[in-house]
């Protein structure tokens, strides 16, 4: 993104996948960019409309089984997201949106449904629902502090060699193998609601850094930090 | 019901005793424990208590308790009505309600959305009232499309008459397997859960309304949509809004004969006008005409603490309950823009433990008035307001927030357990 231009956020399919406060990730990115003087434009793309290729950061959220399957079908048919990621755009994919980025995910009855193949992951349906607060230590290479959020899913996600775990779980289920989420290139996937970027604004700043190609200055994080400390204290086992 | 079998009579009587003990010992209002005792002794008790009465079951995500109260008030014009007025909306609560009004020929029962199929099946209710479905407590509640699908299966092949909100596509889909339906245009301000066709997944087109993204440029204020603006149709299949016979039109209702009645109810806000129109349509299904039902609705001033005003040291706080994004949107419509507002949010089991839904609420409508934030999850709300550029003051408790006001009126919006805590603080205000 050239330094004088507008940061373009693209929210994919809020009509299908925005069931768990996913709008919050969009709002947090907007706020943290604007407070650093970066002008922002946000586009909401409905599932009947084409996904533009020219965005800087793409967001896709969580939802129920049926809309998840519809979203995967439409994204595959549309192809716009693939072209955008191919030319180096950043993305945050959450929960149902995270699962469809892989090769396969579990449908309404647990049957395998074809994903869109943007991340080297494969998901299926687990035996029980993972519901509750999650805390995880982020991959040190990312320079993002401890991840906190709320998970609510039945998914089990296996990471392939083409991705790295986003974090290692301290409390909670995440992918189901002791890791939570994954990343590859500028694409991040996570099971976390909360929403994730409100609970871990460092992740929002990472996406902004990737998209702008510049180091970002600090901003007033007092309310983010107070909420983080309260949630971490409430969730981590007392020592 | 004197014709109850002996076992059911005994179960019913013991249940009432348990309820009385629960109240006397201050443990609760008794509406759940009494029913549980009765059902333990006679599992068939609900079916037996439901026999030989005309029942209406009321279900929705929002407005169940209030609409149950409005229908009950209307039907009292016809005779005694058994009802679960305290919102105990699962089978134990239904047993308790019917048991405590044994001889009432009518019953109006609020029913949890998930339990509705079971309660339709058990009671064989003559009338089922369906108002709205939207996201609610996602960490514990069923997915709403699945709920609607279960409603369809429960209603198919039955001789049940349904009163349903035709403006809510998911409710319409859930109701449309019923043998007969009275369609009501009761509006649907919250549309974020129905941009897609429940039948085929295609996009729903809404007449005169472009897609407005959540958090887009509209404020949270609910407009006075003209009835046509509530129209919708699937772009890809034949599923579309049925023609309504009752219409909420601003401050008035238009009945099936085209007569226009000013509602003039005391309960505030658009949502309650919608609830009132649903209640009038239900009353007519019981043979009660508008001219007799409407004056009864106008007598209702508050419902289990909702819309009531509590007072402390010259501060008069009006209490509004909002449990999910659709409920907050309707609550904002009730707020007096000239008054300060206290917001209280918890995340206990009944509230849903995930506070992510706060990000689905558009708080920008609160800009420009004093906002006080409290509740067990006040920091979640504080950050939400900060990101929405709504200035606020954080307070440690509702009482502290109230004391921070100048003497006079203030509005309060709280979610479920936060609301109950405030009610308890003020002696279970009703």
Question: Which CATH number belongs to the domain containing residue B146 in this structure?
Answer: 3.40.1190.10
- For residues B256 and B325, state if they share a domain: no
- The answer to whether residue A2 sits within a structural domain is no
- For residues B243 and B362, state if they share a domain: no
- For residues B85 and B123, state if they share a domain: yes
- For residues B220 and B333, state if they share a domain: no
Between A234 and B34, name the one with better pLDDT.
Answer: A234
- The answer to whether residue B1 sits within a structural domain is no
- For residues B160 and B222, state if they share a domain: yes
What contacts B47, CB < 8 A, 6 or more positions away? B122, B123, B124
What ipTM was reported for this prediction? 0.96
Residues of B in contact with A24 (CB under 8 A): 356, 358-359, 384, 387
Q: Which of B195, B196, B356 sits opposite A193 (nearest CB)?
A: B356
Contact B354 A47 (CB under 8 A): no
Q: How many angstroms separate the CA atoms of B186 and B273, rounded?
A: 8
- For residues B291 and B334, state if they share a domain: no
My answer on whether omega of the bond before A3 falls inside 30° of 0, hence cis, is no
Task: Answer positive or negative: Cα dihedral of B207, B209, B210, B211.
Answer: negative
- The answer to whether residue A66 sits within a structural domain is yes
Tally the domains of chain A.
1
- The answer to whether residue A1 sits within a structural domain is no
Q: How many angstroms separate the CA atoms of B122 and B8, rounded?
A: 15
- For residues B290 and B326, state if they share a domain: no
| φ/ψ (deg, to 5) at B413 | -120, 125
- For residues B177 and B275, state if they share a domain: yes
Chain B residues near any Cβ of chain A (below 8 Å)? 135, 138-140, 143-146, 192-193, 195-196, 201-203, 211, 213-216, 235, 353-360, 379-380, 382-384, 386-388
- The answer to whether residue A176 sits within a structural domain is yes
Determine the structural domain holding residue B227 and report its residue range.
45-297
Tally the domains of chain B.
2
Q: How many angstroms separate the CA atoms of A6 and A238, rounded?
A: 45
| Residues A42-62 as b or e (16 or more Cβ within 10 Å = b) | bbbbbbbbebebebbbbbbbb
Closest residue in B to A130 (Cα–Cα):
B139
- The answer to whether residue A197 sits within a structural domain is yes
Between B137 and A161, name the one with better pLDDT.
Answer: A161
| φ/ψ (deg, to 5) at A75 | -65, -40
- The answer to whether residue A172 sits within a structural domain is yes
> For the domain that residue A48 is a member of, what is the CATH number?
3.40.50.880
Does A86 have pLDDT greater than 60? yes
Contact B387 A27 (CB under 8 A): yes
Determine the structural domain holding residue A40 and report its residue range.
7-235
pLDDT by residue for chain B (430 residues), tens digit each? 457 888 888 888 888 887 777 776 666 667 788 788 888 877 888 999 999 999 999 999 999 999 999 999 999 999 999 999 888 899 999 999 999 999 999 999 999 999 999 999 999 999 999 999 998 876 666 688 889 999 999 999 999 999 999 999 999 999 999 999 999 999 999 998 888 899 998 889 887 554 444 444 433 334 444 457 899 999 999 999 999 999 999 999 999 999 999 999 999 999 999 999 999 999 999 999 999 999 999 999 989 888 999 999 999 999 999 999 999 999 999 999 999 999 999 999 999 999 999 999 999 999 999 999 999 999 999 999 999 999 999 999 999 999 999 999 999 999 999 999 999 998 877 7
Residues in a beta bridge with A169? A136
Q: Which of B297, B320, B339 is the C-terminal boundary of a domain?
A: B297
- The answer to whether residue B358 sits within a structural domain is yes
Contact by Cβ (8 Å): B379, A230: yes
Tokens of residue B267, six digits = 């309960």
What contacts A124, CB < 8 A, 6 or more positions away? A104, A105, A106, A110, A112, A155, A156
Q: How many angstroms separate the CA atoms of B278 and B272, rounded?
A: 10
User: In angstroms, what CA-CA distances link B392 with A66, B269, B343, B386?
Assistant: 39, 24, 10, 8
Average pLDDT (A66-85) is: 95
- For residues B112 and B212, state if they share a domain: yes
- For residues B251 and B338, state if they share a domain: no
What contacts A144, CB < 8 A, 6 or more positions away? A138, A200, A202, A203, A205, A206
- For residues B237 and B144, state if they share a domain: yes
Contact by Cβ (8 Å): A58, A81: yes
Q: What is the three-class DSSP state of A124?
A: strand
């Amino acid at each position: 993104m050239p330094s004088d231009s507008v940061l373009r956020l693209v929210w994919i399919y809020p009509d299908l996948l925005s069931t768990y406060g996913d709008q919050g990730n969009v709002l947090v990115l907007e706020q943290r960019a604007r407070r650093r003087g970066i002008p922002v434009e946000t586009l909401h793309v409905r599932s009947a409309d084409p996904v533009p290729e020219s965005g800087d950061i793409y967001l896709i959220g969580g939802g129920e089984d049926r809309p998840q399957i519809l979203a995967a079908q439409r994204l595959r048919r549309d192809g716009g997201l693939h072209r955008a990621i191919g030319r180096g755009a950043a993305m945050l994919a959450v929960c149902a949106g995270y699962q469809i980025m892989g090769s396969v995910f579990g449908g309404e009855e647990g049957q395998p449904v074809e994903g869109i193949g943007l991340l080297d992951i494969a998901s299926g349906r687990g035996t029980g629902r993972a519901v509750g607060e999650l805390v995880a230590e982020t991959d040190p290479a990312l320079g993002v502090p401890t991840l906190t959020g709320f998970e609510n899913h039945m998914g089990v996600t296996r990471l392939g060699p083409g991705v790295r775990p986003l974090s290692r779980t301290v409390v909670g289920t995440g992918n189901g193998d002791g890791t939570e989420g994954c990343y590859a290139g500028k694409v991040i996937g996570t099971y976390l609601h909360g929403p994730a970027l409100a609970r871990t604004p460092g992740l929002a700043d990472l996406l902004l850094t990737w998209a702008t190609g510049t180091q970002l200055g600090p901003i007033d994080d007092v309310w983010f930090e107070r909420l983080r400390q309260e949630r971490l204290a409430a969730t981590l086992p007392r020592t | 019901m004197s014709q109850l079998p002996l076992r059911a009579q005994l179960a019913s009587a013991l249940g009432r005793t348990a309820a009385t003990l629960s109240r006397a010992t201050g443990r609760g209002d008794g509406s759940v424990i009494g029913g549980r005792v009765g059902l333990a002794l006679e599992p068939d008790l609900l079916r037996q208590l439901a026999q030989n009465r005309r029942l209406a079951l009321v279900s929705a995500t929002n407005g169940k308790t209030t609409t149950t109260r409005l229908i009950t008030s209307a039907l009292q014009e016809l005779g005694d009505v058994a009802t679960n007025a305290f919102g105990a909306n699962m089978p134990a609560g239904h047993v308790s309600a019917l048991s405590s009004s044994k001889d009432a020929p009518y019953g109006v029962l609020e029913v949890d959305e998930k339990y509705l199929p079971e309660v339709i099946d058990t009671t064989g209710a003559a009338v089922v009232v369906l108002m709205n479905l939207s996201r609610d407590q996602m960490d514990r509640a069923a997915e709403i499309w699945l709920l609607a699908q279960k409603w369809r299966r429960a209603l198919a092949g039955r001789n049940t008459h349904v009163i349903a909100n035709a403006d809510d596509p998911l409710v319409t889909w859930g109701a449309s397997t019923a043998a007969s339906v009275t369609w009501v245009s009761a509006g649907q301000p919250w549309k974020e859960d129905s941009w897609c066709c429940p039948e085929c997944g295609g996009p729903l087109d809404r007449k005169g309304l472009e897609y407005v993204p959540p958090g887009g440029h509209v404020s949270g204020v609910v407009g006075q949509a003209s009835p046509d603006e509530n129209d919708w149709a699937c772009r890809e299949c034949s599923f579309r809004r049925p023609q309504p016979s009752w219409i909420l039109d601003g401050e008035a209702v238009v009945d099936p004969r085209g007569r226009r009645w000013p509602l003039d109810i005391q309960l505030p806000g658009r949502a309650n006008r919608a609830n009132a129109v649903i209640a009038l349509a239900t009353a007519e299904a019981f043979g009660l005409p508008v001219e007799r039902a409407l004056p009864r609705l106008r007598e209702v001033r508050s419902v289990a603490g909702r819309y009531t005003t509590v007072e402390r040291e010259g501060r008069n706080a009006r209490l509004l309950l909002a449990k999910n994004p659709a409920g907050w949107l309707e609550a904002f419509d009730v707020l007096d823009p000239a008054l300060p507002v206290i917001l209280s949010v918890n995340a206990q089991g009944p509230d849903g433990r995930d506070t992510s839904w706060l990000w689905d609420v558009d708080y920008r409508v609160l800009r420009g008035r004093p906002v006080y934030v409290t509740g067990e999850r006040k920091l979640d709300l504080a950050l939400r307001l900060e990101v929405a550029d709504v200035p606020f003051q954080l307070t440690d408790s509702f009482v502290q927030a109230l004391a921070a006001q100048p003497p006079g009126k203030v509005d309060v919006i709280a979610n479920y357990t936060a609301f109950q805590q405030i009610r308890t603080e003020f002696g279970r205000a009703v």
